[in-house]
Amino acid sequence: MRRLAVVAMLLAPTAASARPASKGVYAEAGLGAAATLGKAADWTQPGPALALRVGYDLFSWFSLGVGADASTHEATVPAPPTGEYVQLYRARADARITARVQMIALYAEGGAGAAMLSSNVLEKVGVQDPGEQFSLAFAAGGGLEYQLQNRHYAFGLGAEYFLAPGFDALAGIEVRLFLRYTYGGAR
């Protein structure tokens, strides 16, 4: 009888097993890779990417934030020059919708902002106009987040499609692993 009671206690759901996520101000940092698509893919190689995001959960299912991404790509334009690299910087304001089931959350996000190319090396192949460094930028993506036992932390995997129409419709994808920290109470 005593063993049955111990087994029942171990199998019974508890408040601790629900793993409530925090709600409030949050920060995210991610590392991954970015690749350009379309015409720009002929002239740039996939490269490492860094992503930062801060925001606020207005509701348990909706948040607003700002994000910044940077990626480095080897330029494969015809010589000269050779061995050149270009950095793509993107910044935006965005919104995120989240659906949470226990410790797993699925999210979709989208936003708009600006993009900057660090050099003019892509002018040679028509991706940039002469002297052009800035463009409007749009992004949309989604991912999966795993809530740790400590409700303030979560790990995730995200993917994003981006478009900078001013750079001859420069488009690409970014995939990243991220860590999220939320400075708030339970959702």
DSSP string, 69-92: EEEEEEB-PSSSS-S-EEEEEEEE
Share of the chain above pLDDT 90, in %: 62
Q: What is the pLDDT of residues 80-133, one digit of tens each?
A: 878 899 999 999 999 999 998 889 999 999 999 999 999 888 888 888 888 899
For domain 23-186, the CATH class is mainly beta
What the block records as the tokens of 109 is 């996000």
Question: How far is 103 from 146, CA to CA, in rounded Å?
Answer: 6
Q: Which residue has the higher pLDDT, 3 or 33?
A: 33
Residue with structure tokens 């000269």? Answer: 80
In this structure, are residues 131 and 100 in contact, taking their beta carbons and an 8 Å threshold? no
The whole-number pLDDT of residue 73 equals: 96
Across the chain, mean pLDDT equals 88
* Two structure tokens written together for 167: 């750079």
Burial grade of 3 (CB within 10 A; 0-12, 13-18, 19 or more)? exposed
Q: How far apart are CA 133 and CA 51, in angstroms?
A: 20
What are the domain boundaries of the chain? 23-186
- Give percent of the chain above pLDDT 70: 87
pLDDT of 67 over the 50 cut: yes
